Structure 1
């Protein structure tokens, strides 16, 4: 990615609070970790299916637990946020972090959505960063290995008895947004919607700027602030990410800052043309990562989108 902005990206992620193979068998283990409570209020009555219509005024308490999935021999670590008293089966959001990030990037969003009755799972990609709690090496990571991680997580979440499998949404930031987009396209019947925060559709252009052909890619190289393997760029050179995401026909929400120098706004504007149905919300002055009022505005848009797209059929 453009050399002049590497330091800016690292600073942005730090300020945002970031510490930021193919057939899959799924296993999970839940262990208590400190729970966070929101003020609890009455919810709307449950339907016969056990679902509860989201009450925008409600504030649910929720519990957090460690939860693991497995992709081949790799264990995937994550934390699940489970609302209390929000129904027997609840809509779920799977959060995917960006390049070099971890599950903590999604904490501010998970806390806000769980307080409104949504199960949220934030996890570490295998090899997603040197500090990842999941197995795997950064030298073995690519957009497609991360897709297989997300697919393993999806299957694990579908096995949870408190999750409404008709209402599973994907959400991701930066590279995690791009991974969420291509995964949603490959699993449209299972994914009710997608929320993409400054999705890194720039990845393919960046790889082509760095390397003219696969022969030019070294076995390992330093990308931004961590060492990656040949597979990271090789998988992108001949990949049309916009064509891949265009097969997803359900509604998509994109949120992007117009001062993002890591993934320019134009990449989300182009995605609007690729999707059949998509909405782009722009945060004036926001860069690559949201905090403060920008994060609160983004959360408002997320909740509006999610509440409008729950399937009660």
Structure 2
């Protein structure tokens, strides 16, 4: 009888969570609560182990590698969902997090643009816990697109990644959906990009006048000069970028903000962060763009993390705080400012 009652209350919890989800993420084609995906921490550990060979050290260290406290805080404080939305004729997958609803609070929005390409760099739930949940807990709605092509085995439904081509429309569409969320402050939309995600952020901001500020980490700003440093990326570009072999330089420049920095909105504040020991993207990329924006008299700030790698692995908290400070500094306070929980 006790087991039956536990199952009943768990089913009831999922039902009400589903009702809340329908209100929390209107406009999305599909949505599934993180509570339904991972009802408790043990489910998270179990699923992580199912994806890891038993002989791997990560298999045995899973309970120590996965952020249990962050999992608990996410479940208690946030509405978290795995989402899908329409962009052009394709379905695009995404993650969404927002502080649990209050009667009148409006939250600023961070559009997080991931690195990688196709399925490489897809955000899983552990990445969401580590990278996105701390942002939402500071009083932001956070939405992160996986981009079209993140399910390469089903291109008819999910499209193909173009590494900054038509897939930029996936970010535009996500922004429009974000503005319609009941808890979103549509006047405070921010872009945060990591590596390739910075390219997506620049390309998006180039075509809009409603982005309050932008922050990027480890992002190439000139693919023409960067490619000889990492020639293996040519295979990626050739497989993803349309007409690459016929118009190589043109397509690389189209994805390189340094060649059209003056086309960014004149008042857009840009925060550039990079690691001094980045082996993937040369630090000159950020330095050259900072110099260009300074020459154009644009609001820009450059932060170097000494001895840091491409993803600022040992400096994630400092990176996060610098980015949040930048966004709050440039937030339009048309209402009462959001207090950090």
TM-score (norm. length: structure 1): 0.71
Alpha-carbon shift at residue 115 of structure 1 (Å): 1.0
Question: Cα offset for 1:270?
Answer: 1.1
Written as runs of structure 1 = structure 2, the 5 A alignment for 1:32-71 is: 32-34=33-35, 36-38=71-73, 61-71=77-87
Distance 1:29 1:285 in 2: 42
* Distance change >3 Å, CA 163–CA 232, structure 1 → 2: farther
- 8 Å contact from structure 2 (residues 74, 129) kept in 1: no
- What aligned pairs does 1:88-99 form with structure 2 within 5 A after superposition? 88-99=105-116
Q: Paired residue for 2:235? A: 222
CA contact (8 A) 2:305 2:312 kept: no
Q: Which among 295, 301, 312 is matched to residue 290 of structure 1?
A: 312
Structure with larger Rg: 2
Q: Distance in 1 between matches of 2:292 and 2:153?
A: 35
Change (3 A) 1:39 1:110: closer
Shift in Å, 1:175: 1.1
2:139, 2:184 → 1: CA distance? Answer: 11
1:106 shift after superposition:
5.7
Partner SS, residue 131 of structure 2: helix
In the TM superposition, structure 1's runs of 4+ consecutive aligned residues that sit over 6 Å from their partners are: 131-134, 208-211
CA shift, 1:250, in A, is 1.8
Give RMSD over aligned pairs. Answer: 3.1
| Counterpart secondary structure, 1:272 | helix
CA drift at 1:130: 4.3
The whole-number CA distance in structure 2 between the counterparts of 1:94 and 1:112 is 14
Partner of 1:7: none
Q: Is the CA contact 2:151–2:158 (under 8 Å) kept in the aligned structure 1?
A: no
Contact 1:98 1:176 in 2 (8 A): yes
Q: Residues 1-313 of structure 1: matches in 2 within 5 Å? A: 27-34=28-35, 36-38=71-73, 61-84=77-100, 88-100=105-117, 101-104=121-124, 107-128=129-150, 130=152, 135-138=158-161, 141-188=162-209, 190-206=210-226, 222-223=235-236, 227-231=239-243, 234=247, 236-239=251-254, 241-246=257-262, 247-248=264-265, 249-275=267-293, 276-291=298-313, 293-313=314-334
Aligned residues of 1:107 and 1:122 also touching (Cα < 8 A): no
CA distance in 2, matches of 1:131, 1:107: 26
Q: SS where residue 75 of structure 1 aligns?
A: strand
Superposed displacement of residue 33, structure 1: 1.8
Partner Cα separation in structure 2 for residue 32 and residue 227 of structure 1: 34
- With over 3 angstroms needed to count, the CA separation of the structure-2 counterparts of 1:103 and 1:162, relative to structure 1, is same
How far does the alpha carbon of each residue in 1:192-235 deviate from its partner, in whole angstroms, 9 at most, with x for none?
11111111223243468999xxxxxxxxx7339x9435445745
Structure 2 gap ranges (5+):
1-26, 39-70, 335-341
SS in 1 for 2:73: coil
- Report how many residues are paired: 255
Q: Using structure 2 for the length normalisation, give the TM-score.
A: 0.66
SS in 2 for 1:236: helix
Cα deviation per residue 1:16-49 (whole Å; 9 max; x = unaligned)? xxxxxxxxxx754332122844399xxxxxxxxx
Closer, same or farther in 2 for the Cα pair 1:207/1:282, shift >3 Å? closer
Structure 1 contact 30–67 (Cα < 8 Å) conserved:
yes
In the superposition, relative to structure 1, how do residues 131 and 84 fare at CA in structure 2: closer, same or farther (>3 Å)? farther
Specify the SS of the correspondent of 2:260: helix
User: CA offset at residue 274 of structure 1?
Assistant: 2.7
Deviation at 1:264, TM superposition (A): 0.8
Give the distance between the partners of 1:85 and 1:127, measured in 2 at CA: 32
Shift of 1:103: 2.8
Aligned residues of 2:74 and 2:133 also touching (Cα < 8 A): no
1:88–1:162 CA contact under 8 A, matched in 2: yes
